[in-house]
Amino acid sequence: MMHRFFALILIYQVCFSNTHAQTNELPPISFRDFNIPDSPIIDSASHAIVIIEKGRSDIQVDEGERELQVIHRYGIRIKILDKEGFDKANYVIPLYKIGNKFESASHIRGYTHYIDGKIHTVEMEKGAVFHEKVNEFVNLSKFTLPNITENCIIDIEYEIRSPDIFNYRTWKYQDDIPKLYSEYTAIIPAVYNYNVTLNGFYKLTDQKSRLLKDYFLLNGRRFDCSQLTYIMKDIPAFHEESYMLAPKNYKSAINFELMQYYMTNGGRADLTKEWKDVDRELLSNRSFGGQINRENNFKRILPEIYAEGDSEEDKARKIYSYIKRQIKWNKVYGKYSQFGVKEALEKRNGNIGDINLALISACSAAGIEAYPVLVSTRENGLPKTIHPVISDFNYLVAQVRVHGKSYFLDASEENLPFGLLPLRCINGNGRIIYSKKSSEWIKLENAIKASTHFDIAGKIDDAGQFKGTIRMIYEGLDALNRRNYIRGFSSLDAYIEERMNNSASIKIEEGTIYQLDSLDNNLVESYEISMDFSDNLRGTSFVFNPILINKMTKNPFNLEERNYPVDLGSRQKELYTISVQLPEGYHVERQPKNTALTLPEAAARYTFQSHYGADTLILKQELSLNKAIYEVDEYFHLKEFYSRIIQHQKVDFAFTKK
């Protein structure tokens, strides 16, 4: 689509006037810049502050390459307040691949200003800029400014040339340090119509528009431009909170999306499509629908993957395992195939698109219902749902349907079981693309809770020595995370040894891991353990807290005010079952009360039950978080809920000898 659009535009011989050669320089440095005014946005957590930030973007034609480009000029002035702010002098400019070309950075300049009776300025050397290729889609230009000291000021200026005229340039007002002033100017030719949206909590301080008459030539005629300036002042730093989606979902920023453009004959071309148009383009795209239709790659080998008498679900499971073995993920995301299914199978290597399009194609070859689902990963941000924005999506998973049940599948990871999505994919809604009807939004969630069960059994002797077993049973994302962690060790023995060496008061005698490779079953760790409770003996009294592992001591929700939803990524469950035999002759003097705490609408539940009889303490504790996402107005309840659990777990059992 992009190449067709460029071809249409370039035949009109767009010629911009020389006024576009203006630069976006920062104002001259002055003593006033070193005297930061008192401001509520600056606090003890502020180690640096943006004094001024300015950007300017416009569209030009690169005559040599014969393509349209967005020229983005940027300048920022930062005051370093203390040593913890020195990292702001280590600057990185990310440059992305758009289509088949990379963005480029030029005119990179850096200055360090400091006061010694007068203002001294040290310019960064030209050779200080280093270029790094992260992968085939991202390059970095990196540099460090010289002579950094406390209370110095740094200036950074550069220019980026980008072929991405569809999204123009996103201007990010909010960052991890406060800003006193941020200004962005967009110069947009009258023949282009962009949808401009402001995201985030903070609103613009000022907005200006100016008509630039006869600003450029288009096919022999002069046309106007709109110069749009958006200003925001006194912007607090963005502080990331625990259990939240990507910060880009919440930071204040202004975004541009090309909706339509006008041709010199008066005709209008609309770029904002309906989903049915996007569906058709995707399914006809060689790197998307063209790969799903490569069923011949699999029909010949299907008899080697599953048996003729297998059920439809068994076939789907075996195909899923086959694709995981045959194509190793190269750690590159993508909704499109990078190499193509055939080549990825031959190379045994590919991106997310290669892997999951191969999975869909193989299932289709076996007569199993399978569809691609477009996903925006958690770090990529939530996709827009008002109208199709295909660039919002950076990932692809499959949905298969067998015997009336639907399963999300992602064949990219060795330890991912059938029907479970990794946490990176749990991000709002995905778009499922059908072949014979219109696509639709579908909730991305795992049917199975992330669950850990601690099962402890043992005996305490008269000297206060405990011997017993502990079993940890993992399910869902908890099992995936633990399997990934275990696989990071050179062997199971190395992992168990690490457990033995880092178990604090618990001494592990020996251990066994069960079902590490049986991904559809729970992962189980079992250990023979011993503990010394002799210090808990006081004559005829014995004090004991049976929550021996993973005891909650700190509230994970401790903010006075929460600004963003709590997103756990999955419903969660933690269960303790404990059976401890004490020496004969003890009775209970004090014990935690049996209790049940529940949040409104059963959003979360905590239960604690214990029984002591026949010299044996039996205890069951269960914490269930029944929602993956808790809204801001639920935060106080969640915080109080955890506070009460922590207070309850602090209460020990006290026993007295009869």
The reply to whether the predicted model has a pTM over 0.85 is no
Question: What confidence tier does 11 reach under pLDDT thresholds 50, 70, 90?
Answer: very low
| Span 235-246, average pLDDT | 90
Q: How far is CA 255 from the centre of its chain?
A: 20
303 pLDDT above the threshold of 90: yes
Name which residue leads in pLDDT, 11 or 582: 582
Work out the pLDDT band at 563, boundaries 50, 70, 90.
confident
CA 326 – CA 541 distance, rounded (Å): 62
| 574 closest CA partner among 442, 484, 478 | 478
pLDDT in tens, 304-349: 999 989 999 999 999 999 999 999 999 999 999 999 999 999 999 9
> In percent, how much of the chain has pLDDT > 90?
73
pLDDT at 592 over 60: yes
Distances (CA, A) of 175 to 83, 86, 113, 199, 231: 19, 16, 22, 13, 15
pLDDT tens, position by position, 263-275: 656 677 777 678 9
Q: Is the per-residue pLDDT at 475 higher than 50? A: yes
More confident residue, 483 or 500: 483
Question: Poorest-confidence range of 185-194, 569-578, 599-608?
Answer: 185-194
Determine the average pLDDT of the residues in 128-139: 90
Flag whether pLDDT at 14 surpasses 70: no
Residue 496 near residue 513, CB atoms below 8 Å: yes
User: What is the per-residue pLDDT across 600-634, written as a single tens digit (0 to 9) for each?
Assistant: 999 999 999 999 999 999 999 999 999 999 999 99
Instruction: Return the pLDDT at 257.
Output: 86
Which is nearest to 374 in space by CA: 386, 351, 356? 356
Helix runs in 91-171, H state only:
none
Residue 59 has what pLDDT? 84
Which residue ranges form the domains of the chain, and what is each CATH number?
2-270 (2.60.40.3140), 275-443 (3.10.620.30), 450-657 (2.60.120.1130)
Task: Read off the pLDDT of each residue in 364-391 and give the average, rounded to a whole number.
Answer: 92
The H-assigned helical ranges of 228-295 are 275-284, 289-292
Find out whether 386 and 373 touch, Cβ atoms under 8 Å.
Answer: no
Q: What's the mean pLDDT in 96-102? A: 87
pLDDT of residue 658: 75
What is the rounded CA–CA span in Å between residue 456 and residue 470? Answer: 5
Structure confidence at residue 5 (pLDDT): 37
3-state SS string over 281-317? HHHHCCCCHHHHCCCHHHHCCHHHHCCCCCCHHHHHH
pLDDT at 402 over 70: yes
> What pLDDT, in 10s, does the model give residues 153-182?
999 999 999 998 888 889 999 999 999 999
Q: Which residues pair with 255 in a beta bridge?
A: 197
Q: Cα–Cα distances in Å, from 283 out to 98, 336, 359, 383, 540?
A: 21, 11, 16, 20, 77
Calculate mean pLDDT across residues 129-137. 89
Average pLDDT estimate for 446-450: 94
The pLDDT of residue 262:
73
How many C-beta atoms surround the C-beta of residue 299 within 10 A? 11
- 8 A C-beta contact, residue 287 and residue 337: yes
Contact indicator for 336, 353 with CB cutoff of 8 Å = yes
pLDDT at 77: 97
> Starting at the edge strand that comes first in sequence, how are the strands of the sheet with 395-402 ordered?
405-409, 395-402, 369-375, 429-432, 440-443
Report the SS3 class of residue 71. strand
pLDDT at 192 over 90: no
At a CB cut-off of 8 Å and minimum separation 6, what does 116 contact?
Answer: none
Place 1 in a pLDDT band, splitting at 50, 70 and 90. Answer: very low
Does residue 13 have a pLDDT over 60? Answer: no
pLDDT at 490: 94
Q: What is the pLDDT of residues 201-233, one digit of tens each?
A: 899 999 999 999 988 666 666 778 999 999 999
Determine the pLDDT at residue 17.
36
Digit-coded pLDDT (tens) for 241-267: 889 888 889 999 999 988 887 765 667
**pLDDT confidence bin for 20, thresholds 50/70/90:** very low
Q: Who wins on pLDDT, 515 or 502?
A: 515
